[in-house]
């Protein structure tokens, strides 16, 4: 079942002069046709300016198409009367957790959106406790968010989205500003949520993160140029390098070994697979 669908999606950013007049249109997306299935874990890759973040902002109506269509659970995101329903379905987590935290206490921040929606207090309490426990930040519920680590702050932001009970979470480079420990914490949370049936769309420039998804989409110049499983995508090392992208380090190692005549599979994604392949070759 499709939870998100785009049809021939184009989007242009308007460029204004000093008088506020539109002088030109900067194309950011071109002819994007993409579906996201309910419950899947999709990673979207692309270099800076490829259009991946612009695409993500169409998934819950932050942006609407210049041309073409985007549907969330069958609802056209251009329908302003349905924007609340769309954002109840698709929650958004951004790169910088500090930009999403609005309250002085963790539990108050997680409750913020629910309070604005007029959810009854007893239901708010139940939802925020559930969300904080789910992402393992309940023990900090009375703490000041600014005293938490980057990874913990990002989990607070994720908890605030989860409390809305979305069917899908779109995360736009949520680990870009985190250290390796924080990135690991957030990825563990993302995979746990997906394991509980939440659809996940992860925008990332970390290849090792994308390798953990079920499906990977690669964008370049505002268009989808590759779509497949991580093994299918990352085995195409030269094609990815052509569009300015790397591959997971262990895949790069396998690629270099293969060039030297070692018959190792091209679709190796992690250390365990690499070790097993080398043992089988040299035993």
CA distances, 63 to each of 10, 75, 269 (Å) = 11, 15, 34
Cα distance between residue 176 and residue 179, in whole Å: 8
Residue 94, SS3 per DSSP: coil
Supply the pLDDT for residue 100. Answer: 83
Q: Which domains does the chain have, with CATH numbers?
A: 39-61+80-229 (3.40.50.300)
pLDDT digits (tens, 9 = 90+) for 202-234: 999 888 899 999 999 999 999 999 999 999 999
Supply the pLDDT for residue 15. Answer: 85
pLDDT digits (tens, 9 = 90+) for 4-47: 999 999 999 988 878 777 788 889 999 999 999 999 999 999 98
Task: Please name the residues in contact with 13: beta carbons below 8 A apart, sequence gap of 6 or more.
Answer: 25, 26, 28
Token pair 């991946």: residue: 52
pLDDT digits (tens, 9 = 90+) for 136-187: 899 999 999 999 998 899 999 999 998 989 999 999 998 888 888 888 888 9
Q: Record the tokens describing residue 249, joined without a space.
A: 């380090």
Band of pLDDT at residue 248, cut at 50, 70 and 90: confident
Q: Record the tokens describing residue 254, joined without a space.
A: 């396998």
Residue 29, SS3 per DSSP: strand
């Amino acid at each position: 079942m499709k939870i998100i669908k785009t049809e021939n999606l184009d989007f242009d950013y308007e460029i204004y002069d000093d008088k506020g007049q539109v002088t030109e249109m900067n194309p950011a997306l071109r002819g994007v046709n993409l579906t996201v299935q309910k419950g899947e874990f999709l990673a979207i890759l692309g270099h800076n300016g490829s259009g991946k973040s612009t695409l993500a902002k169409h998934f819950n109506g932050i942006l609407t198409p210049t041309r073409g269509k985007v549907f969330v659970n069958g609802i056209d995101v251009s329908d302003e009367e349905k924007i609340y329903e769309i954002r109840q379905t698709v929650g958004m987590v951004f790169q910088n957790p500090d930009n999403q935290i609005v309250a002085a206490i963790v539990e108050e921040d997680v409750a913020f959106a629910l309070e604005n929606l007029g959810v009854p207090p007893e239901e708010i309490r139940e939802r925020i406790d559930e969300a904080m426990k789910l992402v393992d930040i309940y023990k900090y519920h009375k703490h000041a968010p600014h005293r938490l680590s980057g990874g913990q702050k990002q989990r607070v932001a994720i908890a605030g989205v989860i409390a809305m009970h979305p069917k899908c979470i779109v995360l736009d480079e949520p680990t870009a500003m985190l250290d390796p420990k924080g990135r690991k914490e957030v990825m563990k949370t993302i995979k746990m949520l997906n394991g509980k049936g939440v659809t996940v769309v992860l925008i990332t420039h970390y290849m090792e993160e994308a390798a953990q998804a079920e499906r990977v989409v690669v964008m370049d110049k505002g268009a989808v140029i590759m779509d497949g499983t991580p093994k299918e995508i990352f085995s195409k090392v030269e094609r990815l390098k052509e569009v300015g992208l790397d591959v997971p380090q262990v895949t790069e190692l396998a690629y270099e070994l293969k060039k030297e005549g070692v018959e190792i599979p091209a679709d190796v994604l992690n250390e365990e697979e690499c070790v097993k392949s080398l043992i089988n070759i040299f035993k």
